[in-house]
Structure 1
């Protein structure tokens, strides 16, 4: 018997956990800071409603209707000759998930290493702290292995006893940590300027094509659309699920976490500036990598003993955000192995974990030539291409999908949604492809 989520609330937390990742905590605030403050936030919220929620709905609907892994669901719903294209995209989803997990576990391992490093620093274990903070192959192999083990253990326990149970635990922890860090950062010198830069919009930026495209990319990717994670979660929903309400709930939590992350990161940048640290790079702020691994650790060091524990809490926050994303993505190849090759879950999980470990090992050992190439393939090609294909499946290739009558109650909303998914969303994504190609 196929597993399912035990409750609607459990699904919402699991799906929101899949969506809430490193892109929310460090990517969104940096985009806001570099694109007119609250002006980016305004555009982002519009894009979430116009593009990201329909994309999320499409991916969930494919999983909910197909009740299977991406290969089976996409080939089943892509009727006629298009079923071969559907199966191909399904295999790309599985392969893309494995690639994403290989580099994501490395980055998540860095977060875990920094969390341990700041804790060790606070306790006076300077040798351990130095090992955790300094980049090395040994550190990366250890931290990546530990994080991969955490992901594997959760996925091994299944949907209800693993993914849903740990999502119920981790998401409240993430929310509390985020609020606590905002409260700690708010009274520090420079934070008020950061809040103003974040919340007061530069309206002259609203007509900028770059801000619109950046907001589209951020909204699309922050909702974890394009690798089959939401599809597989949708397949675990029980009959009678109200997909529209679930989509809005997941998008609302994801957007709230991103907004709160901005309330933490941007004031922290201005606190760093008040401490004499350089937060500029060219015409904008520092990149995400410099922000997380250079500017903020320097800021925490300047805050004395309290800074070590603030740093520890911050990187624990990032580690939790990473884990809720990795368990969702790992379920994609695990479900494929379970259903297409009839392996028991413990064998499927071990096999997938071994493949991810092998890919991650290659990226660690050959970091310079392979890491950025892998990230570029997944984020700039795989994700938008998959999202575009989901729109085509729901809007054009799946006849019953064009009706959408079985999965929505309001006929007017159904008619508008059908037109929107068939025409508006593919054209918007096509414009993004074209704009990025010209840059």
Structure 2
């Protein structure tokens, strides 16, 4: 174990917020959130989602970051450090390992999608240059093309993670995240000027109050909120462990929540109007019963069709859009790889560079197996990781944070950087809220995913 004095921390508040928000901002925000909103009544979904983010996801984000900062270590050792009881320590280590399985399993399928996006971006570039056969290869779903994209995505992820917290993760997050916002702004202005876009905007921003209490929609919003903030995914715990004790933890968690939710909201502002623009051009998006066609591949089918229909400008914007998705995917994948890399380099005192390449390579092998057996494995791994492993890990972190971690120790941790925490309204509600309310809500999400 390295002592906490030598442990790297983030160099600036902005660096932490952008890195942690980057971990949370992934394809779930840009691909998942607008798709969910489009399938679940637009504005109604948005409203319920915003409420649930504050009520469920935010208090749990504080727990996960506090556990990390208190332990100042990888997830396994941080969980062990919460208690002196030997049996509870063992249980804590188990929860830490369970938590670590989440980013590793998610990365295995996520990087394949990341690879598709890189190929679509390269395809948009070759399209613009008039290289037809290359474009057809990049846009076709061949095994070779998927393998190529996946490997490129892993190499980019590993190159950032090997740089460490300040030189790798923070340096790149503070460049990539602002780029994400700028690209979104440009895309929004462009799309909103197309015929049909305003209808899409209304569908997204004006809630249909009849749909607000729809059980299915509420559960979809709750699940989306969880995955959006990567609760139970270990990334927040590990980033919390790199956070200085001088920082106000609830405030930092709130900043991360706001940036993450902001990106999801802006993604909706771009994708929903884009869908209506595509519909205006004759692209079929909704089935006769009002359900979304091919919701899983919305980003890969509908948007390219819209870009194609807009000529040269469309090709340029296709490059911008897929570059934007690549950035979002990378800011998440670096946090996923950071979890096992931190554990191995701390436990075995290994060099960060070689650890990043070896562990990245091992998870990449799993992805290669999935690429070659796509039909059988991709959906299975994705469902297991996001619907079962992640919520279960979130529930365990919550139970440990609420019940096993001594109340006083917990409050002392949060008072560092926020001396008046106990007196604040949040400080009075949060400890019992995490103990009783959050576990029930998480259990509901797990129960719904089986239902």
TM-score, L = length of structure 1: 0.97
Mapped pair 1:49 → 2:62: no
Inter-partner Cα distance in structure 2 for 1:287 and 1:62? 39
Cα offset, 1:429, TM superposition = 1.3
The answer to whether the Cα contact below 8 Å between 1:394 and 1:401 also exists between their aligned partners in 2 is no
The 10-residue stretch of structure 1 (428-437 or 57-66) with the greater mean CA deviation from structure 2: 428-437
**Dislocated runs of 4+, deviation >4 Å:** 400-403
Mapped pair 1:247 → 2:253: yes
Q: Which residue of structure 1 aligns with residue 291 of structure 2?
A: 284
Work out which of the residue numbers 164, 173, 181 in structure 2 matches 1:158: 164
Q: Which residue of structure 2 aligns with residue 226 of structure 1?
A: 232
Q: Specify whether residues 2 and 336 from structure 1 end up closer, same or farther in structure 2 by C-alpha distance, changes over 3 A only.
A: same
Inter-partner Cα distance in structure 2 for 1:336 and 1:403? 23
Inter-partner Cα distance in structure 2 for 1:97 and 1:78? 25
The answer to whether the Cα contact below 8 Å between 2:58 and 2:257 also exists between their aligned partners in 1 is yes
The 10-residue stretch of structure 1 (78-87 or 116-125) with the greater mean CA deviation from structure 2: 78-87
Q: Which residue of structure 2 aligns with residue 361 of structure 1?
A: 368
Equivalenced residue count is: 438
The 10-residue stretch of structure 1 (124-133 or 409-418) with the greater mean CA deviation from structure 2: 409-418
The 10-residue stretch of structure 1 (15-24 or 234-243) with the greater mean CA deviation from structure 2: 234-243
Q: Unpaired runs of 5+ in structure 2? A: 1-5
Cα offset, 1:45, TM superposition = 0.9
Q: Specify whether residues 187 and 75 from structure 1 end up closer, same or farther in structure 2 by C-alpha distance, changes over 3 A only.
A: same
The answer to whether the Cα contact below 8 Å between 1:395 and 1:402 also exists between their aligned partners in 2 is no
The answer to whether the Cα contact below 8 Å between 1:277 and 1:295 also exists between their aligned partners in 2 is yes
Work out which of the residue numbers 404, 419, 439 in structure 2 matches 1:426: 439
Structure 1, residues 320-362: CA drift from partner, whole Å, max 9, x if none?
0000000011100000111112211112112111111111111
Supply the RMSD in Å over aligned alpha carbons.
1.3
Structure 1, residues 37-92: CA drift from partner, whole Å, max 9, x if none?
11111111110111000111111011000101011111221552222221112112
Structure 1, residues 16-38: CA drift from partner, whole Å, max 9, x if none?
10011001001111111122211
Mapped pair 1:306 → 2:313: yes
Inter-partner Cα distance in structure 1 for 2:285 and 2:246? 50
Inter-partner Cα distance in structure 1 for 2:277 and 2:84? 56
Structure 1, residues 91-132: CA drift from partner, whole Å, max 9, x if none?
122232222111111100100100110111012111211110
The answer to whether the Cα contact below 8 Å between 1:396 and 1:402 also exists between their aligned partners in 2 is no
Q: Specify whether residues 142 and 403 from structure 1 end up closer, same or farther in structure 2 by C-alpha distance, changes over 3 A only.
A: closer
Inter-partner Cα distance in structure 2 for 1:335 and 1:403? 23
Inter-partner Cα distance in structure 1 for 2:83 and 2:341? 22
Cα offset, 1:405, TM superposition = 3.6
TM-score, L = length of structure 2: 0.95
Q: Secondary structure at the match of 2:81?
A: helix
Cα offset, 1:433, TM superposition = 2.4
Q: Which residue of structure 1 aligns with residue 324 of structure 2?
A: 317
Q: Unpaired runs of 5+ in structure 1? A: none
